[in-house]
Amino acid sequence: MKFQPDSIARVHEEMALVKAQSIGGFFTNYFRQQIVGSQILSAATARTVLLLNDEHEFFRLYFFTTDLADLGQTLHEVKFPREVVAGYFTKAADEAADETVAAAFQQSGFSPIATYRRMTTYRLPPLRPNPALEFALPADVDQLYDGLFQSFNKYTDHLPTKHRLRDYVEKQWVIVNRDVGRIRGAVCFQLEGPRVNYNYIYNLSGNALDFLRLQSNFYGVMHQRGIHAGFLWINQTETRLAALHESMGWRFDGLNDCFYVRSLAG
């Protein structure tokens, strides 16, 4: 079985057809997320749809299935065009299905690379921004893009394209710390109605106070805009950062995102 060029609209139709033909539930890691790359590839059986999207020199894999056994067989038989990364949300309430999905990935040549845990809050700290608060400018996009790729994992952190990052900047969703014309740190976030997705914070100056100033300005801007609730994802290995978030009122809610990678030789 091979992947074929496709459109996101047709993949949605295929998923709807698979769902309509089932008398039970379904399993998926695709929730109409924003698709980063322009190239869409798909492969399907009567019970499973696979979607590949090009993203930063690798493909991200999404699946929709009504039969986990068929998912495992399809992943095993399909020919992947190059390195592929996939994530899957897990929660304690559905351990058996989670284990079956994990087994399907690993038996098809995927290796686990990271687990991210979600934190939420409904009481963001009511701080005031620093008088030196500064938002990013369109001319900063290249620097911001390089800083994100220097600080985060392209496989697991869903890094934005330059086009999407420019959209964040235009909406004043990026706060920066600038030193002699160079951006030394930034906070990138997305407002989703009454809550915020606290996407990224990075600091390249080596000064912990710069990090804390960025964080405080983020909370100050949220307070100014009347945003009290939010969520974020954090690698489970980043225990110190998690403790810092917990000190500001964030709590783990039990939802995990498990990531797998399959090399072309896999």
Q: What is the DSSP string of 30-49?
A: -SSPPP-SS-EEEEE-SSEE
**Is the pLDDT higher at 224 or at 22?**
224
**According to the model, what pLDDT value does residue 86 have?**
96
pLDDT for the residue numbered 56: 81
pTM of this structure: 0.91
% of the chain with per-residue pLDDT over 70: 97
Q: Is 25 exposed, middle or buried (0-12, 13-18, 19+ CB in 10 A)?
A: exposed
Helix (H, G, I), strand (E, B) or coil at 99: helix
Q: Where are the alpha helices (DSSP H) in the chain?
A: 8-20, 68-77, 95-106, 141-151, 162-170, 208-224, 239-247
In the predicted structure, residue 1 carries a pLDDT above the cut 50: yes
Q: At residue 266, does pLDDT exceed 50?
A: no
Q: What is the pLDDT of residue 23?
A: 83
**Does 33 or 21 have the greater pLDDT score?**
21
Secondary structure (3-state) at 176: strand
Q: What is the pLDDT of residues 81-108, one digit of tens each?
A: 999 999 999 986 566 678 889 999 999 9
Average pLDDT on 48-74 reads 94
Q: What is the pLDDT of residues 146-198, one digit of tens each?
A: 999 999 999 999 999 999 999 999 999 999 999 988 999 999 999 999 999 99
Residues 6 or more apart in contact with residue 179 via CB below 8 angstroms: 205
Q: Is the pLDDT score of 243 beyond 60?
A: yes
Per mean pLDDT, which range of 34-38, 63-67, 148-152, 256-260 is the poorest? 34-38
- Tokens standing for 163? 């086009």
